Structure 1
């Protein structure tokens, strides 16, 4: 881990010099700097100057109590993130214990100190500090990657081949550390954090999701340019899809104090042929845009059939907000890529200027149209109209998925997985995730090592990364399917990659993988695929 290169600074505060010496002697180890103080009045300055990460503070001290010092540390923005353990006697009342925890302490040590318990608790906090440092470092790396991404866009315009390579490389380079951040956040959220730490994890999760949204928008925009987006119409219950999207977006509106409602006007056909993923994408982009620019009021959605024939129906989706409105002279500008209105009222909301550009081009791929009706200081209405073929087919019911959805993230029994992954952090995240579900897991660093391990042991499933040294995931999958004995070559393989380039997915499927998972992924997605492919009930 990157964070282990820099020592963790710990301070011990106790008015007894003998106690300080004993505790320091027990906790001393490589990679840790220990400071001590018998004067609590000097501790705040010491914490700031020495970048303290963990503090062990005695509660009962003259001049200033441990509670007062705790409040002082938590009240200063330079020291508020220090992890504090309070030390006290067993005679402390429950109210006093509650007082310390509610003011920001994470735990107590009771005197006389049990050195084994103290060491275990400090070790746990050191692990958390290392995780936090890794996350901070990865966030910095992602900021640099994002900056490089925008600079490289202009270079990629020189040609289609350069653009394709750029998309593949940047997708992999950004999503690989992002997968680590999302994975570690998911692991930490289930590791018994206190409310303050859990809030920090939620904020980090929100930031990671926002950054992933930016990356996805940029990649999606250029894939449309390159003609890589192909619509895949299938039987779709458009009413159910519309309601599902509205329900999914409502919590986001409620977080801003907005009301989100929907109306279905008239009678709609039970089934149409549409690409449900792209219709959802259009609606969610429009709704997200409305929520973003609306400070108070409501978002109203509507769906209606404007025209119909024996074989087709024209549907109109509307998203109406009570935001600031758009000047008529600037309406053409909002659909242009990377463009934002120069008006300072709009600039304060930020964003990449890609969401509406993607919406417009997806609508055009559907041979539909997008219109805007806006009144300054009153609100804006986006209308998406498209013609869809009627369908008599029913949507197939996935029984396996229905069962899994009621038992999300249940433990597996007697399931053994071979993880083929070269990135150490992603190895750690995937192994912990699988072990949390009681999965037995072995790790191979590359495809060649995976082939060797498959000959020595029986596995129920292989998780195969795409980009690896020595032998990549595509080559390894081809050899498993074509050269391995029958009892091995039929093993289920899930290919996962930080690249979202369509031809890579096709290459993986052509090579013989059973399913494909994009990094970063949520644990539920991996759990469902393992359940389905192993036939776990």
Structure 2
């Protein structure tokens, strides 16, 4: 039988199609079994497992034979959430609604639970329907999500426990998240605030309207700044007061520079602000009281020194006049008492100035030998009168002058020498110095004042430098004093970076040691001892000199006149600054002695007016400040106002002559 050629061709084509189909089937089967994700093929009705790939066995830990006999329930967690019926309903959903994905808590052979993401879809092959389930192990992702969730929860708990404003906004300024404190502060509890701007939230509360609008304004400033900003923001409370918050706003941006978000953190600093305000008020009050104290001390200095100037000056003049022996003794006692009072007043004022930090150290050139010799000359007579030998020891290795505050150094050693002479009734007082070390720039010296006086017990040495402290506080104490001298000594030495040491024993004596490191000066020239007669002679050699004394206190003005007469200087008196300017304008004077505290026009104003007149005439007239204001700042102020010299009250004839000689003779 001969077949038709078309039949043969059709038969060949059928075989080819069959072969191609089988080839495709093997290809897809190979792909199916080699995929990394697990794949199940289920019966579309019973959802029994029909087939699966190798990855499924690896994922669940079963052999192919074991897996064939299991159901979806066997491969799920043992709870109602991940039950067999729930699994069937999810697979059924793929039939009715189309392919969909879901997460599932699966179970391995050994009972270990893990998370999968499953994708279910119904397919048809060769006219047969199947349910295809693709499974991906997402355990690691779930672990990370859980870690992130727990971290977020911890962070949220932490933020909500903070008594600070914490708020997150998006790039448009809409609220994303806020902590409990922030919501409570703005009364937003129960309000759907997310996605709303401050201007929208302002509508929820008229009370907080302004606060919300301020927040929106400062948000914009942060965006424009492009960096974190910080400001104080006032937020009202229903109780009627305002809370002040220190608010930090941090803007964030996308890589392209667009606004991404804003982090807002604010801390309530109301109490701190109140404390700062109270502290500032206390500081201002302290400064006010300090100014009052300064003014009081300055006035007290003037009011006490002015009458003392008259007392001491006239007693000195009286003692120089012909007197009987008893009268001279009375003058000596009166002068000693007045000078003691002046010393106490000066000590009290000094303590106050030192404690208030108003003492500045000058830089004088000091020849150590002459400096110490001058101090000895002041105390040697008093020591001899008590039958006490005064000894001077000087280290020959000291051959330079130094830079220091001559006045304050004198004050230190005068206090120490005064105590040594006062507390020594027999024996000796020794004043000396030795070199400790020396460099090209400075020299370290150790001064000492050693006496054979009453001494001090070791347990009382620490009290020596306490203010107003005296070893004998009884009503029958033998030695006078206010207990200020050594306190001043220690405070002055502290300003000079020096130190003082004391060694003493009762009835054996005391030794005070003072160590100072002083800058060296050029070698001191030979200094001629002050000779008052020589200075007076130089003044008189200038010929007739006429002075104008500007002083509102008659006693002091008269004392000045008598002092000037001793050197042949004629004088006139002006009782206030206005009269002084008028007299100077109308007459010719070679010298002016100017008090500072004057009625009508004070000494500073008068000095400026006189200086102006001098400029018009083209001839300067020396002006010496004659005042009871004795602080260093007072001296400097006098010089700034055009004065040429300065004499502090109470003055001595020596200080007056010295100053006049300097301004007239150069």
Deviation at 1:504, TM superposition (A): 2.5
Task: State the alpha-carbon separation in 2 of the partners of residues 203 and 193 from structure 1.
Answer: 14
Deviation at 1:399, TM superposition (A): 11
Label 1:515 to 1:321 Cα distance change in 2 as closer, same or farther (>3 A). Answer: same
Deviation at 1:491, TM superposition (A): 1.0
Q: Please say if 1:183 is aligned against 2:313.
A: yes
Higher relative contact order (CA 8 A, sep 6+): 1
Name the counterpart of 2:596.
466
Deviation at 1:331, TM superposition (A): 1.0
Q: Any idea what the Cα deviations from partners look like across 1:430-450, whole Å, max 9, x if unmatched?
A: 223223433221111111111
Deviation at 1:225, TM superposition (A): 1.4
Task: State the alpha-carbon separation in 2 of the partners of residues 220 and 290 from structure 1.
Answer: 21
Q: Please say if 1:218 is aligned against 2:348.
A: yes
* SS in structure 1 at match of 2:464: helix
* SS in structure 2 at match of 1:315: strand
* SS in structure 1 at match of 2:429: strand
Pairing partner for 2:339 from 209, 215, 223: 209
Name the counterpart of 1:52.
none
Label 1:175 to 1:487 Cα distance change in 2 as closer, same or farther (>3 A). Answer: same
Name the counterpart of 1:531.
661
Asked whether the equivalents of residues 430 and 451 of structure 2 are also in contact (C-alpha less than 8 Å), the reply is yes
Name the counterpart of 2:546.
416
Q: Any idea what the Cα deviations from partners look like across 1:107-134, whole Å, max 9, x if unmatched?
A: xxxxxxxxxxxxxxxxxxxxxxxxxxxx
Name the counterpart of 1:328.
458
Asked whether the equivalents of residues 401 and 528 of structure 1 are also in contact (C-alpha less than 8 Å), the reply is no
Name the counterpart of 1:259.
389
Task: State the alpha-carbon separation in 2 of the partners of residues 298 and 400 from structure 1.
Answer: 28
1:266-415 aligned at under 5 Å gives the runs 267-342=397-472, 347-392=477-522, 394=524, 404-405=534-535, 407=537, 413-415=543-545
Unaligned runs of 5+ in 2: 1-285
Name the counterpart of 1:428.
558
Q: Please say if 1:502 is aligned against 2:632.
A: yes
Calculate the TM-score normalised by the size of structure 2.
Answer: 0.54
Name the counterpart of 1:48.
none
Q: Please say if 1:159 is aligned against 2:289.
A: yes
Q: Please say if 1:238 is aligned against 2:363.
A: no
Task: State the alpha-carbon separation in 2 of the partners of residues 220 and 408 from structure 1.
Answer: 35
Label 1:270 to 1:484 Cα distance change in 2 as closer, same or farther (>3 A). Answer: closer
Task: State the alpha-carbon separation in 2 of the partners of residues 257 and 319 from structure 1.
Answer: 18
Label 1:352 to 1:488 Cα distance change in 2 as closer, same or farther (>3 A). Answer: farther
Asked whether the equivalents of residues 421 and 464 of structure 1 are also in contact (C-alpha less than 8 Å), the reply is yes
Q: Any idea what the Cα deviations from partners look like across 1:135-173, whole Å, max 9, x if unmatched?
A: xxxxxxxxxxxxxxxxxxxxx998321220121111111
Asked whether the equivalents of residues 446 and 470 of structure 1 are also in contact (C-alpha less than 8 Å), the reply is yes
Name the counterpart of 2:32.
none
Label 1:315 to 1:181 Cα distance change in 2 as closer, same or farther (>3 A). Answer: same
Name the counterpart of 1:452.
582
1:29-178 aligned at under 5 Å gives the runs 159-178=289-308
Asked whether the equivalents of residues 432 and 448 of structure 2 are also in contact (C-alpha less than 8 Å), the reply is yes
Name the counterpart of 1:196.
326
Task: State the alpha-carbon separation in 1 of the partners of residues 592 and 534 from structure 2.
Answer: 20
Label 1:253 to 1:410 Cα distance change in 2 as closer, same or farther (>3 A). Answer: farther
* SS in structure 2 at match of 1:207: helix
Asked whether the equivalents of residues 446 and 471 of structure 1 are also in contact (C-alpha less than 8 Å), the reply is yes
Label 1:486 to 1:203 Cα distance change in 2 as closer, same or farther (>3 A). Answer: same
Q: Any idea what the Cα deviations from partners look like across 1:40-81, whole Å, max 9, x if unmatched?
A: xxxxxxxxxxxxxxxxxxxxxxxxxxxxxxxxxxxxxxxxxx
Task: State the alpha-carbon separation in 2 of the partners of residues 281 and 335 from structure 1.
Answer: 15
Deviation at 1:249, TM superposition (A): 1.5
Label 1:266 to 1:490 Cα distance change in 2 as closer, same or farther (>3 A). Answer: closer
Moved more, 231-240 or 205-214: 231-240
Asked whether the equivalents of residues 369 and 385 of structure 1 are also in contact (C-alpha less than 8 Å), the reply is yes
Task: State the alpha-carbon separation in 1 of the partners of residues 540 and 453 from structure 2.
Answer: 44
Name the counterpart of 2:273.
none
Asked whether the equivalents of residues 235 and 395 of structure 1 are also in contact (C-alpha less than 8 Å), the reply is no
Unaligned runs of 5+ in 1: 1-155
Deviation at 1:484, TM superposition (A): 5.2
Asked whether the equivalents of residues 260 and 299 of structure 1 are also in contact (C-alpha less than 8 Å), the reply is yes
* SS in structure 2 at match of 1:305: strand
RMSD: 2.8
* SS in structure 2 at match of 1:159: helix
Pairing partner for 1:518 from 624, 627, 648: 648
Asked whether the equivalents of residues 157 and 163 of structure 1 are also in contact (C-alpha less than 8 Å), the reply is no
Deviation at 1:456, TM superposition (A): 1.3
Deviation at 1:401, TM superposition (A): 7.5
Larger Rg: 2
Deviation at 1:485, TM superposition (A): 5.0
* SS in structure 2 at match of 1:482: helix
Label 1:393 to 1:306 Cα distance change in 2 as closer, same or farther (>3 A). Answer: closer
Asked whether the equivalents of residues 447 and 468 of structure 1 are also in contact (C-alpha less than 8 Å), the reply is yes
